[in-house]
Copies of this chain bind each other. A is one copy, B any other.
């Protein structure tokens, strides 16, 4: 059975962006190493530490679909029509864009429940990754999240966009993580205990 995994880069104090949506402090590990990890698009090739590169290749190989929120879709301009993961993207929004041309790669739905259903179907036996904080919160509250994979970056932002807030079922217990030590990041993969 495929898993629904929330995955983001986060600061040690739990933020996934600064107050201006900036992520400069959190994505250095994707470009600070010697090992190239190509993606599905020409404009994004990672250069990582060997440990992070192995982690990322495994993650890329295991992902079959992505769920994003409308905010992330908008600020990335829909990744230009192809997400770097090269997988179908399901966007949760109450107002689907009317003129979005890349309909073959994108589906717009109005709830996280529908998003998980559509993404699971698209992913086949691969995993579904949830890439937006608010959507991850909603999935967690709805009992739809199987794992939380944190790319934990050694920085304190003090304030910003929190990954997990508005949790209706807190405290949410997790299992101990699988740990991979990178350079400028510690990858922690936590199972959600249901």
Q: Are B156 and A174 in contact (CB under 8 A)?
A: yes
Closest to A49 in B: B176
Is A13's CB within 8 Å of the partner chain B? yes
Interface residues of A in 104-136 (CB under 8 A from B): none
The CA of A155 and the CA of B170, in the complex, are separated in Å by 9
Contacts A12-B14, A186-B179; A174 near B157 (Cβ below 8 A):
no
Contact A156 to B177, CB < 8 A, known contacts A14-B12, A162-B13: no
B154/A158 in contact, CB under 8 A: no
Beta-carbon contact of A186 and B184 below 8 Å? no
Q: Is the CB of B186 within 8 A of A157?
A: no
With A12-B190, A186-B179 as given contacts, are A165 and B158 in contact (CB-CB < 8 Å)? Answer: yes
Residue A36 at the chain B interface, CB threshold 8 Å: no
Q: Which residues of B contact A174 (CB under 8 A)?
A: 12, 154-156
**How far is B11's CA from A167's CA once the two chains are assembled, in angstroms?**
14
Name 20 extra pairs, CB < 8 A, besides A12-B14, A176-B182.
A11-B171, A12-B164, A12-B174, A13-B162, A13-B164, A18-B171, A154-B173, A154-B175, A154-B176, A154-B177, A156-B164, A156-B167, A157-B170, A157-B171, A158-B164, A158-B165, A158-B170, A159-B167, A176-B181, A179-B186
